[in-house]
Amino acid sequence: MAEIKGEHNVHVVSEEEPVSAKPLPNKPKRVASLDIFRGLTVALMILVDDAGDQWPVIGHAPWNGCHLADFVMPFFLFIVGMAIPLSLKKIPNKLLAVKKVIVRTLKLLFWGLLLQGGFSHAPDHLSYGVDVKHIRWCGILQRIALAYLVVSLVEIISRSGQARDDPEHTNLSIVKLYYWHWLVAACIVIVYMTLLYGIHVPDWTFTVHNPDSIYNGTTFTVSCGVRGKLDPPCNAVGYIDRVVLGINHVYKKPAWRKSEACTMKSPYEGPFKKTAPAWCYAPFEPEGILRSRLLQKSQTWRYRLYYDYEYSPFVEPIP
């Protein structure tokens, strides 16, 4: 074999000479379990929205009870609450964190009004536009936005006062580390329960706005004059929404339309009974100002829906 000889320029890298390398992108770490739970919740939402009418057991409960669909909203709120400290801990500047929270809240409110305020009529009609006299101010995204705003501000304000570790590690450590959160939560519960059971609900009237109903344009009155009731027509939650939001700006097709008091096809949606109480035609905001599943779950057997088919003492139409 012939020997090949030649000069070769060999460059030896010394230890002192730096080696150039592309910096790895600093991608934010995500919590896989939270992403998986979010995906499952979205899948559950699609399931109950598409199949809830055919399988009432997974749809929204008309009033009492708790069905599979009633877990979707709490799941979303849980996801938002878990994500708040994870995202805010990356922003040490409080003013910058508040700005980010406000911008995100406004985005959620905008999309909520656009998608659930009545602007889009899909999928029933491929048209757009809304009468501002009947726009729906509240909705799922709007409620998430307000909850996100309140909890985020509490997290930002109380962050400097939080102890990051409890040297004693007792069973009460979670209370000591996050006492501000517990205090705010306790205040919210106290205010909520005070309003729920303390507000006097007077008689109220409404006008049916449904071209498909024989009562379209008819005005009804609902007789209440009570305090602390948790039934559909006379609860304080609906009263506050009617006063603050306006009765024309709340949801027109509440789930209570499927109750036994309203339709013979309960728990399916169907034509109303001739003897159905007038509140069956009334609007009610499921995502209102004080709306909570506690309103439904805390009812005892005394408040369960029972109305005589021939007469209801709660309502009477205005001639």
Provide the pLDDT for residue 301.
30
Dihedral pair phi/psi, residue 315, rounded to 5°: -135, 155
Q: What does the alpha-carbon distance between residue 214 and residue 209 come to, in Å, rounded to a whole number?
A: 10
Give every CB contact of residue 319 below 8 A, 6+ residues apart in sequence: none
Confidence class of residue 125 from pLDDT cuts 50, 70 and 90? low
Name every residue whose Cβ is closer than 8 Å to that of residue 290 and which is 6 or more positions away in sequence: 192, 195, 196, 236, 237, 240, 241
Q: Is pLDDT of 153 > 50?
A: yes
Residue 128's pLDDT band (cuts 50, 70, 90):
low
- Model confidence at 313, pLDDT cuts 50, 70, 90, reads very low
- pLDDT at position 174 is 76
Q: What is the pLDDT of residues 89-124, one digit of tens each?
A: 888 888 999 999 999 999 999 998 888 877 655 555
Which of the residue ranges 162-171, 267-276, 301-310 would you say has the lowest mean pLDDT? 301-310
Domain positions in the chain: 32-160, 167-198, 200-317
Element (H, E) at 201: strand 200-201
Question: Residue 297: its pLDDT value, please?
Answer: 37
Model confidence at 315, in pLDDT bands (50, 70, 90)? very low
| Distance (Å, whole) CA 24 – CA 105 | 33
Model confidence band, residue 127 (pLDDT cutoffs 50, 70, 90) = low
pTM of the model: 0.74
Question: What does the alpha-carbon distance between residue 135 and residue 116 come to, in Å, rounded to a whole number?
Answer: 9
